[in-house]
Amino acid sequence: MQDDEPLEEWARRRDARQAASKGKRRAVPLGEGPHRGAHVDPGAPRAIEEWTGTEWTVIGIVESLAAAQALLYPPPPVQEKPAEWDRRRSGIGKRHSAQAQGV
């Protein structure tokens, strides 16, 4: 016999799953025929769709696969190192440690 979970637990899991996926985006080729792999016809325009939690809605159109990838997967921001990392080491620590050892 199959253990049925209470409806409240199922509804809570469904709502959590919908909330977690809300805002996800995808690119859909705008061409003739059925949807195929993203790599097919890379020069074709793409519709950018966003998941609302219950359905995909079009939020924009881009001119190609490359433009869609740039929009969906932007490069991570470059973290600049603090300015003090660029200073030259003075070597004072080496001199003091040599004097302490009697060298």
The per-residue pLDDT for range 17-65, each reduced to its tens digit, is 888 888 899 999 987 777 777 788 889 999 999 998 889 999 999 999 9
To the nearest whole number, what is the mean pLDDT of the chain?
81
Please state, in angstroms and as integers, the Cα–Cα distance from residue 79 to each residue in 75, 82, 83, 86, 88, following that order: 12, 9, 12, 14, 21
The confidence band for 1, taking pLDDT boundaries of 50, 70 and 90, is very low
Q: In the chain, which ranges are continuous DSSP H helix?
A: 7-21, 65-72, 92-100
The predicted structure's pLDDT at residue 35: 72
